Amino acid sequence: MGRVTTRVRITRLTGQQCAAWPDTLAVEEPLEIRVAGRPLAVTMRTPGADVELAQGFLLTEGFITDRSDVATVRYCNSRAAEGTNTYNVLDVDLAPGVTPPETGFERNFYTTSSCGVCGKASLEAITQRTRHHPSADTTVVTSAVLTQLPDTLRAAQKVFESTGGLHAAGLFTPQGELLVIREDIGRHNAVDKVIGWAVERQRIPLFGNVLLVSGRASFELVQKAVMAGVPILAAVSAPSSLAVDLARDSGLTLVGFLRAGTMNVYTHQDRIAPVA
């Protein structure tokens, strides 16, 4: 397993003062995801929970629907000529009968830490049809519970505490219990790791849960939530217009600017119960 953080020497300037200083950085390394030995995607991520990341990615891209679709996930040599393993290549074998993804030009894409859908051929290729549609989910969460979630998430961000450079995603019960948190240099990776955690524990679909992200709510994050069956997605920052459109059409409750006791509910407000 690769390192999550690394130490570097920097020059710190404070007014007229200049001094050498140690600093802690979040590690960013590529992860190549293969299916049956064939390269599918490369994402820039923070090492850790890589098996969850791969399974979450495959589910949110529509290649699998639950853990039974996966036979094995294993690291493989990324420097085969040297016989060494950098833990930056994962190979996934799908279960018998599961159709493998196409690995032609359209499906062989590169994702960065800022954009999880870069390289997709078209907007139509992004929109996936989920088997875990959240529209029928009747989960209700009080506004009082929701407003407490960002503080709970922030308190659990251990790597962010030392680096200040990671996004986080957390899965909560309607009562505000934190089930899992994952941090990553890429916000889409943090979400995939949370969803992969649920895949590994056979908790898909994620009906009856709240997904909270530490940044903005982009189209890709809404798509991932819908693919996993999440009924409520909340973000501490703003959503995009396309994210709102997809949430509305998919039956997902989208909350933005969840901070300091307030929030904006953009879609399907019936799942949020105001508390006087």
Residues with a catalytic annotation lie at: 115
Cis, peptide link before residue 205, omega less than 30° from 0: yes
Half-sphere exposure (Cβ direction) of 261: Cα atoms closer than 13 Å: 2
Question: β-pairing, 70-75 with 89-94?
Answer: antiparallel
Cα separation values, 217 from 98, 211, 243, 247, Å: 31, 11, 7, 10
Please tell me the distance from the alpha carbon of residue 213 to that of residue 136, in angstroms, as a whole number: 23
Please tell me the distance from the alpha carbon of residue 213 to that of residue 195, in angstroms, as a whole number: 13
Give the 3-state secondary structure percentages of the chain, helix then strand then coil, rounded to 5: 30, 35, 40
Please tell me the distance from the alpha carbon of residue 139 to that of residue 119, in angstroms, as a whole number: 35
Question: β-pairing, 232-235 with 210-213?
Answer: parallel
Side chain identity at residue 245, one-letter code:
D
CA-nearest of 246, 88, 115, 276 to 189 is 115
Helix (H, G, I), strand (E, B) or coil at 271: helix
Place of tokens 């950085």: 25
- In the structure encoding, which two tokens stand for residue 224, read together? 């991932």
Side chain identity at residue 244, one-letter code:
V
Say how many residues make up the chain.
Answer: 276
